[in-house]
Amino acid sequence: MAATATGIHHRSYESELRLRATRAEYFRLALMGVLLVVLPFVLDNYWLSIANTILIAVIGAVGLNILVGYTGQISLGQGGFLAVGAYTSAILTERYDVPVLFAVVAAVIATAVIGTFFGLPGLRLKGLYLAIATLASQVIIEFVVRRDPGGLLTEGLGYIDVARLNIFGWQVERATFEQQWYLVLAIITVVAVVAARNLFRTGLGRSFMAVRDQDIAAEAIGVNLTRAKLTAFAVSSGYVGLAGALIAHYTEIVSWERFTLDVSITYLAMIIVGGLGSVAGAVYGAIFMSLLPVLIRTAAQQWGDAVPVLKDQLPAVQNALFGAVIIAFLIFEPRGLARLWQRAKDYVRYWPFRY
Amino acid sequence: MLTRAYQHSLNGSSRPQGRPLLEVDDVSLRFGGVKALTDVSFTITQGDVHAIIGPNGAGKSSLLNCISGIYHPQEGQIRLHTGGGEDEEGRSVPEGQHLLTQLPPYKVARLGVARSFQNIELFAHLSVLENLMLGRHIHMKHSVLASMLWFGPARRQEIEHRHLVEEVIDLLQLQAHRNQPVGSLAYGIQKRVELGRALCIQPTLLLLDEPMAGMNAEEKEDMARYVLDVHELAGVSVVLIEHDMNVVMDISDRVSVLDFGRLIADGTPDEVKADPAVIEAYLGADRHAAELVERAAEGQEAAHG
């Protein structure tokens, strides 16, 4: 049970339903806002590009958590759905001259539709069996984008070049590329995260969680399981499609290597490490898992001469640490970083008492 | 203690008192070669507490599962009657009839047939409040965009339904547990939350599968009191499966007895108590011995009376 500060007496349901109640919570929120605004002015281009990748990963991880953490439907198809979003948006802008904004919206819808289709096995399968079924969606989509039958997707090139971002005449410049992208991504990510947070304080989000916790009881109180599961697949895939489309326009190139099974597993790791069934957890997890390889690389550059193994075997070290982190979280805090953060807050609140 | 005035009627049925509400008509249910229910027929009347009793494995829970759509019987019909009376605002509601036998559980629930489970089936990671709000699911509108937007219809709806949920919390005295995750609550309280979740549906008919199983005498008494409150204050018709005969005979208006999937008796508690078939089912085949026991019990009662 999370600690609540004493002395909060809500006088109305409106005030009780707010996401934040205490002054400390508003202060933290303001701090976060300031951090987000200040970041592009203090970071250099290298770190800003990492921040941008993290922002995109946050959208994808939040989307995956809606499905896996909140609705309890395990999905290994994340990479494939990212590909659907990326290819849809890239093809629409490059080949059909659709404005970026509309192309991205179309990508979201297309991914939601395809995600719902591949969610159909979820109506019959649970747990590991569903994981295998969604793995099939990953393999199928990956196969299609890799083989590119008849050059339908890339016109035989094997990749799609995407033009520099231009939103109704607002052109991203080469010199301020990362800063401008940061602005775009930060706005979209904040909106996406808040929307997800909102979803889970309404009846629809609750019905997802009901399906996760007790599907028979959920049906007995009038939740249409078919509809709830497919809606969850659609919403989740929509988020992932958005992330995919943003990857396409941000990296300005779309090719199949970016959307392999590895990506699916990385995203799954993000939400496990961050905290299943928590929007904040997905954010923390995305940040943590995106920063981990970067930090290891930095460490290798720093101390590579003293510990040659770091430098010589960098990819192996990265993979090993990646695995070790996941195992450590599964053993010591299965509810992830979100729970750790909660416990830290509780510790401060109850201090000097233990509970 | 200060409580709010109840503004909402928890009874979702617009049937007049004493009219048939649910008709179980020649229902047979088989699992492969096993006959769980054979030609079971009885009627549940609006305004009754209707107990279903029987030895273990008699088919009580199977019958409840047939009513709530989880099982579909191979033969027979279960009909729910609606209307014929007035709704909350005093408008008259036309009579209607729904065949429950082929409906999926969520559609049965949407007709207002609410239930609790023998083994608690709550949403363990959610708070009491969220569990009860889920009881309002069928009365709410669920749109993805409105939910994500929060401000506007979604928030208004949450607050609107919160009022009824708070009344249920008051009725069942769950105030202290409102924000606790259900999984961390004591067994007896979980049972109460489950009753509450079913009540939030504003049931036309409330099915309770052993609401007092595994409780001590005191908890049983509390629970019986809550069930009576639901019945008397809220006017909800209740179907109750229970093993404790004292409770059953005390609080029910009508009792149906199942044995080996067959209905062996159906009547008021006193009629059922005196029914030789029931005595046989409960006390064994030796009728003579059973009568002796019965007579001895009566003698004792007379002596003490």
Same domain as B160, residue B36: no
Q: What is the pLDDT of residue B2?
A: 43
For residue B98, tell me if it sits in a domain: yes
For the residues A100-113, what does the mean pLDDT come to? 97
For residue B210, tell me if it sits in a domain: yes
Residues with Cβ within 8 Å of A229's Cβ and at least 6 positions away in sequence, in order, are A71, A73, A119, A122, A123, A211
- Which ipTM score applies to this complex? 0.90
Same domain as B233, residue B214: yes
Same domain as B52, residue B139: no
Chain B environment of A235 (Cβ under 8 Å): 144
pLDDT-derived band at A4, boundaries 50, 70, 90: low
Domain containing A210 equals: 20-260
Same domain as B228, residue B84: yes
For the residues A85-95, what does the mean pLDDT come to? 96
Q: How far away is chain A from the Cα of B134, in angstroms, using its nearest Cα?
A: 7
For residue A313, tell me if it sits in a domain: no
Same domain as B24, residue B171: no
Beta bridge partners of B267: B255
Q: Does B159 touch chain A (CB under 8 A)?
A: yes
A223 to B134: CB separation less than 8 angstroms, yes or no: yes
pLDDT at A355 over 90: no
For the residues A61-71, what does the mean pLDDT come to? 97
Residues with Cβ within 8 Å of A165's Cβ and at least 6 positions away in sequence, in order, are A100, A171, A172, A180, A181, A184, A249, A250
B121 to A225: CB separation less than 8 angstroms, yes or no: no
Chain A environment of B180 (Cβ under 8 Å): 1
* Structural domains in chain A (count): 1
B144 to A13: CB separation less than 8 angstroms, yes or no: no
B147 to A205: CB separation less than 8 angstroms, yes or no: yes
Q: What is the pLDDT along chain B (305 residues), one digit of tens a residue?
A: 345 578 888 998 889 999 999 999 999 999 998 999 999 999 999 999 999 999 888 999 999 999 999 999 999 999 999 988 887 777 888 889 999 999 999 999 999 999 999 999 999 999 999 999 999 999 999 999 999 999 999 999 999 999 999 999 999 999 999 999 999 999 999 999 999 999 999 999 999 999 998 899 999 999 999 999 999 988 899 999 998 888 899 999 999 999 999 999 999 999 998 898 888 887 665 556 556 666 666 766 666 64
Q: How far away is chain B from the Cα of A232, in angstroms, using its nearest Cα?
A: 10
For residue A46, tell me if it sits in a domain: yes
Q: What is the pLDDT of residue B43?
A: 96
For residue B117, tell me if it sits in a domain: no
Beta strands B75-82 and B20-31: pairing type? antiparallel
B147 to A209: CB separation less than 8 angstroms, yes or no: no
Q: How far away is chain B from the Cα of A60, in angstroms, using its nearest Cα?
A: 17
Q: Does B133 touch chain A (CB under 8 A)?
A: yes
pLDDT at A228 over 60: yes
Q: Does B85 touch chain A (CB under 8 A)?
A: no
Residues found in chain B: 305
Q: How far away is chain B from the Cα of A63, in angstroms, using its nearest Cα?
A: 13
Q: Which of residues 237-276 of B touch A (CB under 8 A)?
A: none
For the residues A241-263, what does the mean pLDDT come to? 96
Q: Which secondary structure element, helix H or strand E, spans residue B22, and what is its range?
A: strand B20-31
Same domain as B144, residue B104: no
Same domain as B107, residue B31: yes
> Which of A1, A13, A203 has the CB atom closest to B180's CB atom?
A1
Chain A environment of B158 (Cβ under 8 Å): 13, 17, 201-203
pLDDT-derived band at A313, boundaries 50, 70, 90: confident
Give the relative orientation of helices A45-65 and A23-42 as an angle to the nearest 10 degrees.
140
pLDDT-derived band at A354, boundaries 50, 70, 90: confident
For residue A296, tell me if it sits in a domain: no
For residue B283, tell me if it sits in a domain: no
CA geometry: angle at A238 spanning A206 and A285, to 5°? 70
For the residues A228-232, what does the mean pLDDT come to? 96
Q: How far away is chain A from the Cα of B57, in angstroms, using its nearest Cα?
A: 21
For the residues A125-137, what does the mean pLDDT come to? 92
* Structural domains in chain B (count): 2
| CB distance B241 to B37 below 8 Å | no
Same domain as B177, residue B135: yes
Mean pLDDT, chain A, integer? 92
pTM for the model: 0.91
3-class secondary structure, A205: helix
Q: Which amino acid is at B182?
A: V
Same domain as B63, residue B184: no
Give the tokens for residue B80. Answer: 């729910």
For residue A102, tell me if it sits in a domain: yes
For residue A267, tell me if it sits in a domain: no
Closest CA to A256 of A88, A143, A98: A143
Same domain as B259, residue B159: no
Separation between Cα atoms, residue B304 and residue B39, nearest integer Å = 42
For residue A39, tell me if it sits in a domain: yes
Q: What is the pLDDT of residue A7?
A: 64
Q: Mean pLDDT check: name the lowest of A36-40, A206-210, A271-275, B13-17.
A: B13-17
For residue B282, tell me if it sits in a domain: no
Chain A environment of B150 (Cβ under 8 Å): 198, 201-202
For residue A12, what is the DSSP state? S
Last residue within a domain, chosen from B201, B220, B235: B201
Same domain as B192, residue B207: no
Same domain as B136, residue B29: no
Separation between Cα atoms, residue A202 and residue A194, nearest integer Å = 13
Closest CA to A232 of A86, A65, A82, A345: A65
A199 to B149: CB separation less than 8 angstroms, yes or no: no
Domain containing B154 equals: 123-201
Q: How far away is chain B from the Cα of A259, in angstroms, using its nearest Cα?
A: 27
B137 to A209: CB separation less than 8 angstroms, yes or no: no
